[in-house]
Structure 1
Amino acid sequence: MLKKIFKSIDRGFLFVEDWSLFIAVAVALLTAMANVILRKTTSNISLYWSDEVVRKVIYFSTYIGCVAAIRSRALIRIDALPQIFPVLKKPLTLISHVAVLFFALIMIYLGAQMTVMMFQDEYAKTATLQIPEWYFYAVLPIMGAMMFIRTLLVIVEDWGNQHDATGEN
């Protein structure tokens, strides 16, 4: 039962990560390409807002990419030491997971504070498109929560695999 719940959460996160990243990067790519084509083929037509779109997509994809990196176990961590001293693999993995959980909690807390602050500031809007900035700050606590949950899923998966490998249940 619990395994089914974890699997459905994992699938939901996978869907959100993959499609949001795909759509965001596609929008940035198409916007940048259209701007370059317009600048090179015409003398005075340019998408003045394309740089802002690309910057916001980089911001978004960096944070949502962190969640995807946890899934694929691609976050930065100490991996040379466990190769030299295999006995350190479990403690260093645990330290890595705890550090990510701590970071995620900080992102939730500070991200929520910054989002509320931007929401209360009626003048906090992007320079060219005039989109309220709080939309972009809201990515921080969402990403923090997703990182926290995703890390818990990885911990449970690692713990389950250790028990399966030893024959325990």
Structure 2
Amino acid sequence: MMQKMLKRVDRSLGFVEDWSLFIAVAVALLVAMANVVLRKLTPISLYWSDEVVKKVIFFTTYIGCSAAVRKRALIRIDALPQMVKGLKKPLTAFSHLAVLIFAVFMVRYGWTMTVSAWNDPFARTATLEIPEWFFYAVLPLMGVMLILRTLLVLIEDWRGLPAE
């Protein structure tokens, strides 16, 4: 029962990560390519394309953190555990704890920033006039996803399940 629920959460997070990252990068790529083509072939330039690309980089950086935990690809100390085998489990646990602490900060402060931008009617992007709270909302969302993903990895580690 518990195993099925964990698999469902894992698949759901994976679906959100993969598709949101795919769509965001595809949009940025299409907008950037359209801007280059238009600028080279016509006197038209999409003045807002840089803003779209910057916001996509912001989005993919934070949502990509969750995907990196899934793939066990976050930056961590791995030279020391290779030299001293007994340090692998404690350093892995420390790494997971550090990620969880970071994720809690992202939820707390990301929520505060989102609410602050929500309450500020002038907090809009420079060219597209999109409310900034929309982008700040990625921070607590990423924090929650990071917490769930890290807990799933911790459970895999404790149970001795192979990393996928």
Q: Normalized against structure 1, the TM-score is what?
A: 0.94
Q: State the match for 2:21 in structure 1.
A: 21
Q: Distance in 2 between matches of 1:161 and 1:124?
A: 47
Q: How many percent identity over aligned positions?
A: 67
Q: In the aligned structure 1, how far is the partner of 2:33 from the partner of 2:73?
A: 30
Secondary structure of 2:160's counterpart equals helix
Structure 2 counterpart of 1:55: 54
Alignment pair present for 1:115 and 2:106: no
Deviating 4+ runs (over 4 angstroms): none
Compute the displacement of 1:161 (Å): 1.1
The gaps in structure 2 that reach 5 residues or longer are none
TM-score after normalising by structure 2: 0.97
Cα RMSD between the aligned structures? 1.0
Structure 2 residue aligned with 1:69: 68
Q: What's the counterpart of residue 33 of structure 2?
A: 33
CA deviation digits over 1:40-99, x for unaligned, max 9?
A: 001x20101000000000000000000000000000111000000000000000000000
Q: What is the CA–CA distance in structure 2 between the aligned matches of 1:2 and 1:157, rounded to whole Å?
A: 12
**What amino acid sits opposite 1:132 in the alignment?**
P
Total equivalences in the alignment: 162
Match runs of 1:90-169 below 5 Å: 90-161=89-160
- In 1, Cα distance between equivalents of 2:104 and 2:49: 33
Matches of 1:17 and 1:144, distance apart in 2: 13
1:127 is paired with a residue whose SS is: coil
Matched AA of 2:39 = R
CA distance in 2, matches of 1:135, 1:60: 11
CA distance in 1, matches of 2:74, 2:137: 22
Structure 1 distance, partners of 2:2, 2:109, is 31
- In 2, Cα distance between equivalents of 1:7 and 1:125: 39
Shift of residue 124, structure 1, vs aligned partner:
0.4
Q: Max radius of gyration: which structure?
A: 1
